[in-house]
Structure 1
Amino acid sequence: MSAYDESRPAVEAQGALIAVDGQGRITLWTEAAESLLGYSPSHVLGRHLNDLLPAPAFLGALRTEGEWVGTLEVVLASGKKRSLSAHTCKATATVPCHGLRIVHLAPVSAVHHDDETDQALLRWLFDRAPVALSVYDADLRLLRQNAAMTRVIGVPEVERRGMRPSQLLPGSAGVEWEEELRQAVERGSEVPDREVPAHVVAASERDRVYLTSASPLFTASGRTIGICAAVSDISERQRARERLVLLNEASTTIGSTLDVLTTAHELADVLCPRLADWANIDLLESMLHGEEPGPFTGRVALSRAAFKSFRKGAPETTRQLGEIVFYPAHSPPVRSMAEVRSVVLATADKATRAWLAEDPERAARFRKYRWHSVLVVPIAARGAILGVAILLKKEPDIFTDEDRLLAEELVSRAAVCLDNARRYTRERAAALTLQRSLLPRTLPRQAAVEIASRYLPSDTRSGIGGDWFDAIPLSGQRVALVVGDVVGHGINAAATMGRLRTAVRTLADVDLPPEELLTHLDDVLTRLREENENPDQSGDLGATCIYAVYDPTSQLCSIACAGHPPPAMVQPDGTATFLDIPIGPPLGIGGLPFECGELSLTEGTLLAFYSDGVLNMRGRDIDHALEELRESLLTPMPSLEGLCDEVLRRLLPARPADDAALLLARTHVLNPDQVAVLDVPVEGAFVSSARSWALQRLEDWGLAEFGFVTELVVSELVTNAIRYGRAPVQLRLIHDDTLICEVSDASSTSPYMRRALLSDEGGRGLLLVAQLTQKWGTRHARRGKTIWCEQDIKADRLACLASLALA
């Protein structure tokens, strides 16, 4: 045992650390502990801490998970007693510690106590602190409250002393607050911040909202003796938040339809009761007929469009909706419209009394229902006056400047919606005509797929949009299936849709792979944005698109997607899923790549391409909408046309909120007998063998009369591939409604048609092919190219029969 040394203030000020195990036995005794208490490690290690620090509350804390802070009376090795400040907590480590606890001891004298400073701090807290404080004992009876609390509640401390919190805050709010304080005292825990609405003496004119919190008060031994509650008046902040909520609600509520009267009623519902006890919306007659509002002078005739009252005993109105109300030139409503500014009046104002005197019935209503404050707000949009909103409050409330600004913002938003409703019918008819003229009237019959489609314009909520669909025949009996959606609604969206659809058809004729086609389409939309004369609208110019190419010969389907919902697939066995394909960015972003997914389809597989309008996601979850689409595609139907109607019936209301495009395609497969393939060695002498092979295939198909043209075409295309292409070279004939001849090679060089001079020995091949067939072209693959040409065998046979009949 070492002697206690009191000459080491630095070590004492720092304190000592002791560790005890789960049974309370000492496992760590630092040098600082030896210096502070005088006991050596050999004397104390393994002993129970109770032998050195006999304090029941402290020893009980060692057996809990929480922390303990307090003061202990300790006997030093020298036999002297000394007060020490103790702090115990659970040890943390990366390995199990078996209940190891850490105890920190420090002399109480290490904490500097200045009674004069403490007293000055207490005087500041209770006399000058801006935070409102109340101190309660353990039974929740008031002991003290500072001056700030007296200002908040309006009741002095001498009157509140001994009262409980529920006695100051009557009702459920006070009872709940008192119960939270009681639980905090029992557990010794803090009460987190919470908002408490209350009606107190200091604010008798209206309810207030307070932000409250509380913390228990402990003795040096850790016993809870009371609780201190802090209160802040956040009523103004709460009202500001309510104004923002009201503005947000108005942005989603007002203008839900493009109907003038409905919009006026929505405005009245927002203004009353949040802002006024009574609201009246009067509009110019020309507004109701969709005409341009004209200038007005003298007495103004306004039509009663909407009204609403809130307080008990207040009338709705003595006039009917649609009734004409005449306002004199000097009346507050006409003055507000003429000056395009809001007018706030009180019934005691001279101008208000003169206005009331002109209409005894109006004056009687004001006296009977104690209207006290009037706010008149002009309804103006795009430089035109549409009408006026009249708001009234009963005594003793008055309209403040904040109320006026909020009403102006709400009315201003509603005015735009009202003006939109007036313009809507005229614009929608023109836009709908344009859009229908840009969409395909009927889709051509395809050998690769059976197709059905639907397009539904949106209702008056949105107007028409930029959804489109298409089915484009490609070479080799392939087909391209397209569905797109332009951002926005109206004529601009329809015009952009028409441009994009035309661009897709043009790019499809070039036989670009799906991902390359979307890249070019993205460039088209980017150029359209740059050429847009309205810079405010160019930022909104965007679109989504999905482009798929199905080959009935190989049964492969290649799909590229630009921000569009993935297509659904229903297999012949009845399994319905959504395709897991790479989804690229929407069109118009620029610079980002698109990827192509490829899958093999069984004959009879149903593919469903759709725009997001089909999902009708307003007010419901997208997963639920997709599941409903999947289930609707499984409905047994005799035809795809009936399935289209069933899908739209189940997913869309009678008047959809957004325009919708739906394209269904059921895959077909060409019989192996309809396709003939020949591998061509890169030898000039093989051209004659290729011609013979082609003539034999035509005889097998019963098309011998087309042998002459086919022989010339095969000879030219195979010769070019051998001479200018690269191995491997392949010849393929496809027999369906048309006769298709394709020659593929590994070279990416594209041939072009030119006119040879009389002295030239070559250069007439492709010109000859173009003249002998109905179509010809080149399509590129990831490796190599294919030159193809197509003969319309049905038309040619009819021509042959006609010539024979004439002969």
Structure 2
Amino acid sequence: MAVLDDRGTVMRWSGAAADLLGWAAEEVCGRPVRDLLARDCPKLSGNGVPAGDGRALFRHRSGDSVAVGYRALPMEPAGESLLLIAPTSRVRQWGVEANILRAMLSQDRIGIGLHDVDLTVVWTNITPGMFAGAALPRGSRLTEVPNLEDAKAVEADLRRVLESGEPLIGRPLHMRSPQESDGYTHLSLCAFRVDDPDGTPEGVVALYADTPEQQRARRRQKVLHAASDRIGSSLDVTRTLRDLMDVLVPALGDVGWADVSEAVLGTEEPPRSAGGGDLHQRRVTVVPECDAESGALYRPGEPIPPLPYTPELGSVQRGRPVALDRETVANVLGEPTLLDRFVPEHGHSGMWAPLFARGLLLGSVTVWRTGHREPFQPEDAELLAEIASRAALSVDNARRYARERRVAVALQRRLLPPATTQGPAAETAGLYLPAGGDADISGDWYDVIPLPSFRVALVAGDVVGHGLNATAVMSGLRSAVRTLADLELDPSELLTHLDDLVQRLGQEMEEDNSVGATCLYAVYDPVARTCVVAGAGHPPPVEVRTDGTTRVLRFAPGPPLGVGGLPFETLTADLEPGSVLALYTDGLLDRYDGDLDAGLRWLTDRLATMCVAGSDLADVSRRFLAELGDAPRRDDIALLLARTHAVPAEDIGDWEFDADGSVVSDARHAAREKLAEWGLEELAFTTELIVSELVTNAVRYAGGPVGLRLARNDVLVCEVTDPSNTQPRLRRALWSDEGGRGLFLVAQLSTRWGSRYGRSGKTIWAEQPLIPRDVDFAGLV
């Protein structure tokens, strides 16, 4: 050491400095330190004082040069500095030692504890996360560690090290795991004494490290954690088995594969079997993939050939893993040419474990080690069996889910109407796509219901929930809509009845299976060319006009079905013939992270582009399907497209009469003339009878005005409208009755008849085929 003033002059000079450079203090003090340098030091300040730390070449008194490392430290009072000098070799050694010590103290696999002469901890890097949750805080003793067994005996061993100076090597330690009552962490303890420069003991350094047994337990725990984290996250059998093999390779083995029963791939249960023969298994995955592509192993998709019965096969069929080697496999196969198909190249140690669940052999998993890796141990087989057991449950769950999903999809598709329909009111095309990926089947549906007087009801709905329960509810609602539609109710009244039904269903079901749905119901009349729409929590329909423009038929939406207590409102819109009306479920709009408005804009734009005049609606549905792509969908999608038709004005006869008995003959005359104009004279007699009976009843019981309409298309429709809301009733009159035969006569002369109600009054209608059929008038008497 040397003390320098603010000009770099040596003021004091230590004996160690004299020994290092050969200069005595009286020869150096008062001289600039620059004079002692063999060459200029780049870190000398302008006044000749060294700055910071670095290396320099000093001049020895003998004339030789001495390479040193130095560090300049400022002192008080200001202006003085302390210069520390050491040989470069010594500095390098200190640096290496410091780096080694720093590396040891910073890692977390070897615990280090420095104990003083009283065995109190004065420094440690052991934290609670290193060994079984135990810490070794400063100021503590080993006897204060609660889960360290034989702590007093360990301290006695450290005391002997302190007294004798003999190191302690490989003493086993056992620490109880706080997570498991019967679990232990096994450590190895090494200890040595630390002396001061005079040889006086200052303490003991203790090193704690995992034993091979503990390292294996740690690896086992790591593999189990990876298995629980990855396996079972998918409801797809193939994906589950791929996740299983990704856990096992390379953590447990170098090459592995999974085989599964063909019945499981078909979502069925595998048969209970024992003994050799064809196990009807197929390879699903091989890891690494390069081994399947370049080697002779069976590749994914290939069937596994029949196997002869062996004790190993019997163990697997009973749910137990077995150890394998090349010789064992060769003896089992009995065919040397097949060996390379069952054993990977350089494979020397293998394990075969069953995918066993509910007493059924779903498949098997095989893992091999190759090269210089050590053979499998019995504990490895136990680990593989545990992981395979977990995977088997996930495979079985995925199989059962796939089966339920397949049944739900098949049932839902069978419940939907034909993809395309043709009718006098509209031609339609429907599209249904179930949810994809791990999502479940929902209860989306659409329907096309022909109504009397050439009208048609268009329906779209979405049931809350998933799976078979949602499909069953959807089936019930679709049947209810069809039944209510036959009553020819106003759309708002139909939804009210449907809402009551959903509430009753919800009360009948369990609490965790609540029922709810949205529904859109529209009735299009090709004679009036109007569409009446009502909705229950459902997105509005979109109209594409013949000129390519679009509009959203917005109306005040009612609450979803099942809420109750709120009314449903209707919207009446004029539709030009040839326009396309699109009904859909909200799954079609779910393209922009829940932004339904953006989804509706996208849908409207695509409809305007695709639904051009003359386009085939089935082709439009296929184009929509292509645009939706193969990406997994979070919700079902239902889309119904309807191109409207209209009954031409020349095919309609419309009259209105006063409520007077004399107008009955006028009505018959008007009907007869219109039928003659249409060339349907053969229907004149039966039509006049129907008109006469219906108009007579209207005049007699309802009052005026009385409307009469004839319309022809694929059938002839006769409608009589009156202002009464009285329900007409069909009855068989006795031979002595003077009346009561009118509606009975109408029912016999027509193929079907009925009535519907408007905001004021009712309409009674009757249909006849355009080719008259024989009528047994004698049977009507």
| TM superposition score category, shorter chain reference | 0.5 to 0.7
Shift of 1:733: 0.9
Residue equivalent to 1:753: 730
Match of 1:476 in 2: 453
Cα separation, partners in 2 of 1:156 and 1:265, compared to 1, 3 Å = closer
Matches of 1:314 and 1:452, distance apart in 2: 46
Q: Distance in 1 between matches of 2:231 and 2:539?
A: 31
**Residues 236-282 of structure 1, C-alpha deviation per residue, up to 9 Å, x if partnerless?**
xxx99999998686555450xxxx65653354346657998865424
1:76-225 correspondence to structure 2 within 5 Å: 151=127
- 2:752 maps to which of 751, 775, 781: 775
Q: Map Cα deviations across residues 691-725 of structure 1 (whole Å, 9 max, x no partner).
A: 56656666776767655544443443233334433
Residue of structure 1 aligned with 2:521, choices 547, 551, 565: 547
- Corresponding residue to 1:713 among 684, 690, 693: 690
TM-aligned CA distance change 1:306 to 1:622, over 3 Å? farther
Alignment counterpart, residue 623 of structure 2, candidates 615, 625, 647: 647
| Structure 1 match to 2:573 | 600
**SS at the partner of 1:443?**
strand
Alpha carbons of structure 1 residues 251 and 550: separation in structure 2 relative to 1, 3 Å:
farther
Point out the structure with max Rg over C-alpha.
2
- Structure 1 counterpart of 2:417: 439
- Structure 1 residue 608 displacement after superposition: 1.6
Task: Say if 2:428 is the partner of 1:451.
Answer: yes
User: Which one-letter code corresponds to 1:551 in the other structure?
Assistant: D
> What SS does the corresponding residue of 1:292 show, helix, strand or coil?
coil
Measure the CA separation in 1 of the matches of 2:592 and 2:229: 17
In the alignment, is residue 338 of structure 1 matched against residue 312 of structure 2?
no
Q: Distance in 1 between matches of 2:277 and 2:718?
A: 82
Secondary structure of residue in 2 paired with 1:750: coil
Q: Is the 8 A contact 1:375 1:404 kept in 2?
A: no
Alignment of 1:239-318 (within 5 A): 253-255=234-236, 264-269=241-246, 280-283=257-260, 292-297=270-275, 304-308=283-287
Q: For residues 41-60 of structure 1, what are the structure 2 equivalents within 5 Å? A: none
Amino acid in structure 2 at the alignment position of 1:380 = F
* Residues 279/629 of structure 1: CA separation in 2 closer, same or farther (3 Å cut): farther
| Contact preservation (8 Å) 2:419, 2:431 | no
Shift of 1:754: 0.7
**Aligned pair partner of 1:388 in 340, 343, 364:** 364
Letter in 1 for 2:397: V
Distance in structure 2 (CA, Å) of the matches to 1:659 and 1:486: 10
Q: State the SS of the aligned residue for 1:477.
A: coil
Q: Does 1:417 align with 2:394?
A: no
Q: What is the match of residue 568 of structure 1?
A: 542
1:687/1:582 Cα in 2 relative to 1: closer, same or farther (>3 Å)?
Answer: same
2:614 aligned with 1:638: yes
2:710 matched to 1:731?
Answer: no
- Residues matched between the structures, number: 547
**Helix, strand or coil at the partner of 2:458:** strand
Q: What residue number does 1:177 align with?
A: none
Q: Is the 2:419–2:430 Cα contact (8 Å) retained in structure 1?
A: no
Letter of the aligned partner of 2:260 in structure 1? L
Give 2:148's aligned residue. Answer: none
Q: Does 1:516 align with 2:498?
A: no
User: Matched residue of 2:274: which SS?
Assistant: coil
Note if contact 1:267-1:414 (Cα within 8 Å) is conserved in structure 2.
Answer: no
Hey, what's the Cα distance between the residues in 2 that align with 1:270 and 1:567? Answer: 50
Question: Structure 1's 542 and 339: CA in aligned 2 closer, same or farther, altered over 3 A?
Answer: farther
Instruction: Between 397-406 and 465-474, report the one with greater CA deviation.
Output: 397-406
CA–CA distance in 2 between the matches of 1:526 and 1:356?
67
- CA positional deviation for 1:506: 3.4
Does the aligned pair in 1 maintain the 2:275–2:309 contact within 8 Å?
A: no
Question: How far off is 1:731 after superposition?
Answer: 0.6
- Separation in structure 2 between the aligned mates of residue 487 and residue 476 of structure 1, nearest angstrom: 34
Alignment CA distance shift 1:762-1:390 (3 Å): same
How far does residue 779 in structure 1 lie from its aligned partner after superposition?
0.8
- Kindly state the Cα deviation for residue 336 of structure 1 after the two structures are TM-superposed: 6.5
Q: CA deviation at 1:412?
A: 1.7
- Alpha-carbon spacing, 1:780–1:424, altered in 2? closer, same or farther (3 Å): closer
Show CA shifts across 1:315-341 (max 9, x none).
99984335569799665x96576257x
Closer, same or farther: CA 245–709 of 1 in aligned 2, 3 Å: farther
Return closer, same or farther for 1:243/1:560 CA change in 2, 3 Å cut-off: farther
Letter in 2 for 1:556: T
Give the letter aligned to residue 570 of structure 2.
G
Find the counterpart in structure 2 of residue 609 from structure 1: 583
How far has the Cα of 1:481 moved from its partner? Answer: 1.7
Gap change, CA 1:597 and 1:294, over 3 Å in 2? same
* Partner amino acid, structure 1, of 2:452: S
Q: Secondary structure at the match of 2:127?
A: helix
Please say if 1:557 is aligned against 2:515.
no
Shift of 1:385: 1.9
Secondary structure at the aligned position of 2:771 is classed as helix
Distance 1:241 1:600, change over 3 A: farther
Aligned amino acid, residue 488 of structure 2: D
Describe the shift of the 1:434–1:578 C-alpha distance in structure 2 as closer, same or farther (beyond 3 A).
closer
CA distance in 1, matches of 2:636, 2:737: 59
Work out whether residues 436 and 632 of structure 2, in 8 Å CA contact, stay in contact via their aligned partners in 1: yes
Q: Aligned residues: percent identity?
A: 37
Displacement of 1:413 in angstroms is: 1.4
Aligned counterparts of 1:366 and 1:775: Cα–Cα separation in 2: 75
- Quick one: structure 1 residues 515 and 285, their matched pair in 2 at CA, closer, same or farther if it must change by over 3 Å? closer
1:663 aligns with 2:643: no
Give the Å deviation of 1:502: 4.8
336, 340, 355: which one aligns with 1:379: 355
Aligned in 2, Cα 1:359/1:284: closer, same or farther, shift over 3 Å?
same
- Give the corresponding residue for 1:805: none
* Aligned counterparts of 1:563 and 1:480: Cα–Cα separation in 2: 18
Alignment deviations for residues 638-670 of structure 1 (CA, whole Å, 9 cap, x no partner)? 333465255335434479978865432222444
d(CA) in 1 for partners of 2:129, 2:748:
99
CA RMSD of aligned residues (A): 6.0
Find the residue that maps to 1:769 and give its secondary structure.
Answer: helix
Matches of 1:357 and 1:698, distance apart in 2: 95
Residue 293 of structure 1 aligns to a residue in which SS?
A: coil
Change in CA separation of 1:631 and 1:377 when aligned onto 2, cut-off 3 Å: farther
- Residue 318 of structure 2 aligns to a residue in which SS? helix
Residue in structure 2 matched with residue 236 of structure 1 by the alignment: none
Matches of 2:460 and 2:525, distance apart in 1:
18
> Do 1:500 and 1:521's aligned partners in 2 also have CA atoms closer than 8 Å?
yes
Q: Which residue of 1 aligns with 2:298?
A: 320
Mark the CA change 1:384 to 1:746 in structure 2 (over 3 Å): closer, same or farther.
Answer: farther
SS of equivalent to 1:554: coil
User: Aligned in 2, Cα 1:646/1:386: closer, same or farther, shift over 3 Å?
Assistant: closer
> 2:294 & 2:567 partners in 1: Cα distance?
60
Task: Name the SS for the 1:505 alignment partner.
Answer: helix
**Closer, same or farther in 2 for the Cα pair 1:314/1:653, shift >3 Å?**
closer
